[in-house]
């Protein structure tokens, strides 16, 4: 029985719904066709995108919303992309701003709205009915800030993620909208088919795409994939590429300053093999890891992981394993990262600990990682309780409710590790792994709720519903 109740979120369903009779389930997804060119002198990405929006719900939509993640980098944004703690490391050349300028939308009337100019609303000529598609062609320029972050011109590389209008995810028959957050990853998107043509100056290599042609001092890189959650790329004129395979899958590592790129590639391959063995086959045809300008740890995307060049050598293996685990817990099996950050971050961090249990050569161990998480969480709880008199330890909560990265890290990551360790203790490792393998298979290409995860564990014999709820609702004492 599913008793999980999600916390309320201040993000409205941004579409007028016209209830209709239920239609048969469809496997069709939306499709993006993107042509983009990086104009280095202007620090601009000039784009044209055709998106075929497919309505998989039982309702008709009079208005279609798209997230404009790039607008979080604009001057005056209420929800900034970088916290004060990392601002100096990220903005290496002082304050810098970017944003996205929509110049044309064909196929509907458009307007910029949302809580923080973060939503592009497009009204088609007629409502979009169930099992039907509508096509929009959008022209837009992305102004890139000088920032070491997910989107921007870094000191040694250019990171391109969330650069295009992203169709808002479907939730409860409508669309789910959310603002950016400096705490965690606010990205919630349904899988779609992608075809991307990226043109760059000839000196650049592109991690995440394959070279197609060269002409007139320019290179064209192509990316095509079916059923992926989003797309991202890293550009640099200083990459060293190292190639390998894991489980028959080509694996590439694009390094900048890594003193031992072969070792990092080996870690990525071992992590891919480990997760495939324990949680089911890798979902995609290739995997790429890119060392890039990023102020902390790393960042995951389908088929691509960004690893910070600022990371210490001793930290790099655990970062690579964590981001590779996200190929299962985020890329393949989606979740609502805005409301339930623990569901992918806590599970990816626990997977890292589980990996270290059988790979002692990296200098860590399962028990050491779990103990470190418990020590950190208890210190956090003690400090917050003394300062505030009480502590909100709920794991099911929006990213914007966290006071900062310290609280977010301890709740989503450390408490998440403790939760999955407790499940292992109570149900046993065999049932936990069986449940996670069921979870990976059942919700591949979908967005799973916490209740869905609980049901997969229960079906595997791990009857831990009350345990999970006590953690996510903030009732347990650790």
Structural domain ending residue among the three candidates 192, 217, 249: 192
**pLDDT at 351 exceeding the cut of 60:** yes
Query: Rounded distance, CA 7 to CA 428, Å?
Result: 29
What's residue 19's pLDDT? 32
pLDDT tens for 242-286 read 999 999 999 999 999 999 999 999 999 999 999 999 999 999 999
Q: Where are the alpha helices (DSSP H) in 10-147?
A: 87-90
Structural domain ending residue among the three candidates 175, 192, 209: 192
Residue 378: domain span? 349-472
pTM (two decimals): 0.93
Query: Rounded distance, CA 84 to CA 280, Å?
Result: 39
**pLDDT at 17 exceeding the cut of 50:** no
Question: How much is the average pLDDT of 29-51?
Answer: 98
- Residue 392 placed within a domain: yes
Short-list 230, 96, 213, CA closest to 222: 213
- Residue 385 placed within a domain: yes
- Residue 209 placed within a domain: no
- Contact indicator for 72, 80 with CB cutoff of 8 Å: yes
**pLDDT at 6 exceeding the cut of 90:** no
**pLDDT at 71 exceeding the cut of 70:** yes
Pairing state between β 287-292 and 304-308 = parallel
- Residue 47 placed within a domain: yes
Bridge-partner residues for 116, per DSSP? none
- Residue 203 placed within a domain: no
Based on the structure, what is the number of domains in the chain?
A: 2
Query: Rounded distance, CA 15 to CA 306, Å?
Result: 34
Confidence of residue 72 (pLDDT cuts 50, 70, 90): very high
- Residue 247 placed within a domain: no
pLDDT tens for 103-112 read 999 999 999 9
Confidence of residue 387 (pLDDT cuts 50, 70, 90): confident
pLDDT tens for 98-139 read 999 999 999 999 999 999 999 999 999 999 999 999 999 999
**pLDDT at 366 exceeding the cut of 60:** yes
Q: Residue 219 corresponds to which tokens in the numbers above?
A: 């290179």
- Residue 380 placed within a domain: yes
- Residue 245 placed within a domain: no
**Which residue do the tokens 């709880």 mark?**
381
**pLDDT at 2 exceeding the cut of 80:** no
């Amino acid at each position: 029985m599913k008793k999980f109740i999600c916390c309320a979120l201040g993000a409205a369903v941004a579409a007028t719904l016209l209830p209709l009779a239920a239609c048969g389930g469809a496997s069709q997804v939306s499709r993006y066709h993107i042509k983009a060119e990086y104009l280095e002198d202007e620090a601009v990405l000039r784009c044209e995108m055709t998106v075929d929006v497919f309505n998989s719900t039982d309702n008709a939509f009079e208005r279609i919303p798209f997230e404009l993640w790039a607008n979080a980098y604009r001057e005056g944004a209420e929800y900034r992309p970088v916290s004060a703690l990392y601002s100096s490391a990220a903005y290496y050349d002082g304050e810098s701003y970017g944003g996205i300028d929509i110049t044309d939308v064909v196929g509907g009337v458009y307007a910029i709205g949302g809580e923080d100019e973060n939503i592009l609303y497009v009204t088609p000529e007629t409502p979009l009915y169930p099992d039907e598609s509508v096509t929009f062609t959008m022209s837009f320029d992305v102004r890139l800030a000088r920032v070491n972050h997910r989107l921007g011109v870094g000191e040694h590389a250019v990171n391109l993620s969330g650069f295009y209008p992203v169709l808002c995810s479907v939730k409860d028959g409508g669309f789910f909208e959310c603002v950016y957050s400096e705490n965690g990853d606010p990205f919630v998107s349904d899988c779609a088919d992608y075809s991307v043509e990226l043109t760059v100056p000839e000196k650049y290599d592109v991690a995440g795409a394959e070279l197609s042609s060269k002409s007139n001092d320019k290179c064209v890189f192509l990316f095509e994939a079916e059923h992926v959650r989003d797309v991202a790329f890293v550009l640099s004129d200083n990459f060293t590429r190292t190639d390998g395979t894991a489980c028959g899958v080509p694996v590439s590592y694009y390094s900048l300053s890594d003193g031992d790129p072969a070792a990092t590639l080996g870690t990525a391959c071992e992590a891919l093999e480990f997760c495939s063995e324990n949680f089911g086959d890798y979902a995609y045809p290739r995997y790429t890891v890119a060392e890039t300008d990023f102020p902390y740890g790393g960042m995951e995307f389908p088929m691509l992981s960004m690893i910070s060049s600022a990371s210490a050598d001793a930290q790099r293996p655990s970062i690579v394993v964590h981001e590779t685990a996200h190929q299962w817990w985020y890329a393949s099996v989606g979740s609502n990262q805005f409301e339930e950050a623990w569901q992918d971050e806590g599970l990816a961090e626990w997977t890292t600990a589980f990996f270290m249990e059988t790979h002692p050569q990296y200098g860590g161990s399962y028990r050491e990682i779990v103990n470190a998480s418990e020590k950190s969480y208890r210190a956090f709880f003690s400090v917050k309780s003394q300062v505030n008199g009480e502590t909100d330890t709920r794991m099911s909560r929006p990213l914007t409710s966290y006071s900062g990265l310290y609280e977010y890290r301890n709740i989503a990551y450390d408490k998440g590790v403790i939760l999955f360790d407790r499940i292992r203790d109570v149900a046993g490792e065999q049932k936990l792994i069986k449940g996670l393998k069921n979870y990976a298979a059942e919700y591949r290409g979908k967005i799973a709720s916490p209740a869905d995860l609980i049901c997969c564990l229960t079906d595997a014999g791990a009857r831990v519903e009350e345990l999970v709820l006590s953690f996510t609702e903030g009732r347990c004492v650790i």
